[in-house]
Amino acid sequence: MDIIETIKEQIANNTILLYMKGAPNAPQCGFSAKASQAIMACGEKFAYVDILQNPEIRANLPKYANWPTFPQLWVAGELVGGSDIIVEMAADGSLQTLIKEAAANAAAKTGA
């Protein structure tokens, strides 16, 4: 499968998806640490892709997303942004609202 198709599939199949360096419980950079902590504080399950383990995704996602840096948060198929945006949204409460609504909508669609 083409790497862009893989990226599209990951985004489509995961309501809340963080592309990051490392894992949420073991981030490999400060920006990924801040982003994953802010998302975890929202209390919803989310998927992540460790771009350090996936060099093809690391190389191609910035072109696909038209966003040059990592981490990247995708919610309901839309790019939210990187670490600074995630932290700002967490501070003003909009991140929690966005993530809770996306998780509730996904649960309603699947009947969970």
- Binding site as annotated, residues: 21, 29, 58, 70, 83-84
- Show the tokens assigned to 4: 């862009």
| Most distant pair of Cα atoms in the chain: their distance | 40
Which residues are annotated binding-site positions for glutathione? 21, 58, 70, 83-84
Of 73, 69, 66, which is closest to residue 35 (Cα–Cα)? Answer: 73
Cβ(33)–Cβ(27) below 8 Å: yes
Taking the C-alpha atoms of residue 33 and residue 56, their distance in angstroms, rounded to an integer, is 22
The DSSP 8-state label assigned to residue 41 in this structure reads T
Summarize the annotated binding site for [2Fe-2S] cluster as residue ranges: 29
The span from the CA of 90 to the CA of 87, in Å, is 5
